[in-house]
Amino acid sequence: MLKNYFIALIAAVGGFLFGYNTAVLSGAILFIQPQFNLTNVQTEVLVSSFLFGAIVAAILSGKGVNYLGRKKMLILTGSIFLIGSVLCAFAETPLLLIIGRIIVGLGIGSASMTVPLYISELSPPLKRGFFVSFNQVMITAGICVAYLVNLLFAHHEMWRYMLGIGVIPAIILGIGMLFLPESPRWLISKGFTDKAKKILFSLHNHELATVELREITNNTKTHTQEGPLFTKVNAMPLLIGVCLAAFQQVTGINTIIYYAPTIFKMTGLHSDVSAIFATAGIGIVNFVMTLIAIQVIDKLGRRPLLLIGVAGMTLSLAFLGFSFHFGAQSPSLSWVITLCLVIYIASFAISLGPIFWLLISEIYPLSVRGKAMSLATFTNWTANLIVAITFLTLIQHLGRASTFWLYAVISIGCWLFVYFLVPETKGKRLEEIEKLWEKSAKK
């Protein structure tokens, strides 16, 4: 088991890089904009450029994890982060900075799908939720550290350091992965059964390793190495992955993560410093609640957490809308809105945050796992981009209250979707989950 902790810890540095690099620019941009004299359009392109990189990487990573394997793909991801961060730190023109951020985005997109996939395939079934979701803990830790680094360097306007510090975790990921094993499932699917056997027996107790080896080998005998994606058996898991991917974003999480200071200022909080501190508070709540969620994810199960969390998100979004609708700008409005945001973030952190990434690493048959995760990840980043570029426009045209009500209505849709369609995967072996779809397709 100790080995499993080590594996999750190192691989999830990829999650840390995902979180850090998505949040760090929010502080750095304040100094980059005046230094390069950026127009609003140029600023928007710079801020969203990483999302384009992430979308492209999500498409390519499906092939990458199949062809290179999970381990080499993570080493490559560390190297991409390294190159991107160095380029950003030394960029002398806005164009170079944008290219640097697109490269960092490639790393983010690749890490977002490869880390959960890798950890999931190496974890014991009874603790898989804990280990895979450790990645989400590291994403939220990365976001917190980025806010902190932004605060530390803000006084000296040292934006190059803010962006450049990302090289440290990138090196840890790249080098650390050299010492970790390849996924036994990928090895067996490529015919390296002996190697996979050794890894399984070094990771699990004798009994579990024997069952896993037998099940994975049988599974790869009856299924082709790389099967077609759009089949009757795959229809349901594909639908679940793609819809949850979109729901995770279109229920508004990143309007808070990317625009929290702007939202706080809408409530009448005038000082930048208070807005930044309030934002840091949101980051800490996100981190702490994720940490709590992963302790119970394998005991309570994925479904109860999703249903409770999405209900909490819906209610807090609805109240946020009411507060903006009925409240005049005042200190008490700031408090009510802060409370709504805290409940919203806490609810996301125990549900859609970790559980979306966990489920897409669990629900797909091995023969299409790479491609299917790639599709879900692509949907997630595309939805992320759509929300990021429409939020301020929605606020302008619909108004603040209606914008948050819109997210609340979408959250109700998400709750119903989970209630009717998402199965419980707690404690099941990946091959057992695979059989579940085969059975239901035969009905």
Name the site residues for ligand BGC (rule: CB under 6 A): 22, 136, 139-140, 143, 248, 253-254, 257, 286, 353, 357, 384
Q: Pick between residue 234 and residue 351 the one whose CB is nearest to ligand BGC.
A: 351
Closest distance to ligand BGC from the beta carbon of 22 (Å): 6
Output 97 or 139, the one with its CB closest to ligand BGC: 139
**In this structure, what are the phi and psi dihedrals at residue 322, rounded to the nearest 5 degrees?**
-60, -40
- Token pair, residue 167, equals 């090289």
Distances (CA, A) of 328 to 172, 361, 439: 49, 45, 56
CB of 351 to ligand BGC, least distance (A): 10
Minimal distance, residue 50 CB to ligand BGC, in Å: 12
**CB closer to ligand BGC out of 132 and 333:** 132
CB of 184 to ligand BGC, least distance (A): 27
Choice between 383 and 408, CB closer to ligand BGC: 383
CA distance 9 to 111: 14
**Cβ nearer to ligand BGC, comparing 22 with 334:** 22
* Complex with ligand BGC: residue 186 or 407, whichever CB lies closer: 407
* CB 248, min distance to ligand BGC, A: 6
CB 175 → ligand BGC: shortest distance, Å?
25
Q: Nearest approach, Cβ of 149 to ligand BGC (angstroms)?
A: 17
Closest CB to ligand BGC among residues 253, 395: 253
Identify whether the C-beta of residue 101 lies closer than 8 Å to the C-beta of residue 50: yes
- CA dist 100 → 47, 137, 142 (Å): 12, 26, 19
Query: Three-class SS string for the chain?
Result: CHHHHHHHHHHCHHHHHHHHHHHCHHHHHHHHHHHHCCCHHHHHHHHHHHHHHHHHHHHHHHHHHHHCCHHHHHHHHHHHHHHHHHHHHHCCCHHHHHHHHHHHHHHHHHHHHHHHHHHHHHCCHHHHHHHHHHHHHHHHHHHHHHHHHHHHHHCCCCHHHHHHCCHHHHHHHHHHHHCCCCCHHHHHHCCCHHHHHHHHHHHCCHHHHHHHHHHHHHHHHHCCCCCCCCCHHHHHHHHHHHHHHHHHHHCCHHHHHHHHHHHHHHCCCCCHHHHHHHHHHHHHHHHHHHHHHHHHHHHHCHHHHHHHHHHHHHHHHHHHHHHHHHCCCCHHHHHHHHHHHHHHHHHHHCCHHHHHHHHHHHCCCHHHHHHHHHHHHHHHHHHHHHHHHHHHHHHHHHCHHHHHHHHHHHHHHHHHHHHHHCCCCCCCCHHHHHHHHHHHHHC
Based on CB atoms, which residue is closest to ligand BGC, 89 or 376? 376
Q: How far is the CB of 357 from ligand BGC (least distance, A)?
A: 6
- C-beta of 310: minimal distance to ligand BGC in Å? 14
Smallest distance, Å, CB 257 to ligand BGC? 4
Q: Which is nearer to ligand BGC, 46 or 139 (CB)?
A: 139
Nearer to ligand BGC, 200 or 346 (CB): 346
CB closer to ligand BGC out of 353 and 370: 353
Q: Scan for tokens 């945050």, then name that residue.
A: 353
Q: How far is the CB of 192 from ligand BGC (least distance, A)?
A: 32
CA 165-163-72 angle, 5° bins: 65
